[in-house]
Every structure is written in C-alpha cells, then in structure tokens.
Amino acid sequence: MTLPHDAGCIFCKIVKGEAPSFKLYEDDLTFAIMDINPFNHGHALVLSKGHYANLHEATEDSVSAVARTAKKIAAAVADAVKPDGINIVQANGQGAAQSVLHYHVHVLPRRIGDNAKLNWNLTPGDHESIAKLAADIRARL
C-alpha cells in the first residue's frame, strides 16, 4: 500500500524514521509517539502514516485506524500515569490551533485543576437556533 507523503512534513519524517521520536506503537496505518512539547505527563500523539493535512482530507480508513490506535494508546497512558481523565483532541486548521498540518490526534492525560484551555462552561443555547442549524447540517450529509 502506498500512502501519500510530504518530504517537508516533520510527522512524515518521523514516520519514515528520518527524524527522531519517542515511538510508542506502529501498525500499517498509524504511528504513535510521545509529544515532545507535552501539556501533561503522558501526552501522546497518534499520527496517520499517510500525509493528510487534516480530518477533511484523511481517508476513512486512516481516520478509523487513528481512532483505534488512540483508544489503545489512551488505555496504556491511563495505566502508566493514572490521570484523572483523558481528552482525545483532534484539531483542524489554524482556528483550531492545529500546529502541524498532518492528520493526528492528541491523547492528553488530564489532572483536575491542570488549567487546560479545552474546557468551556455549559451555557444553554437557543433551542430554535440549534434546531435550524441541525436541519441545515443534516441536509448536507
């Protein structure tokens, strides 16, 4: 199987063994590593082996494989570092703070009070507006 590759992408270089990493796991479609800029102890990344800039470009097989590997890595991280919880985070585009344009997910161990900026307050939305938007989104599926 030939997967797309970008010679200038740091994650592609890691997958090919051309750049160093703290490798955790590898299969045909995924490659898991420790994040070298960790938010919390145990922060890991699951990379698609194929180069896709984001979720929208990734193949369904790659998305499924990354999700399966993220589940496996999350279980191992939870066992190793005993966090209070784990976020599985996937960012698409600059507005979502995606820093490397290569499809990947973060396995992010959380500690109560760690002050991660991923949380938001639960504030009820306008149900009429939500219903209209839901109809618009359903029509696009």
Catalytic residues: 104
Q: DSSP alpha helices (H): ranges in 1-141?
A: 10-15, 60-81, 127-139
CA angle 6, 91, 132 (to 5 degrees): 130
User: Among candidates 41, 16, 9, which has minimal Cα distance to 31?
Assistant: 16
Virtual torsion, Cα 10, 85, 120, 139, nearest 10 deg: 70
- CB count within 10 Å of CB 34 equals 15
Please tell me the distance from the alpha carbon of residue 59 to that of residue 81, in angstroms, as a whole number: 32
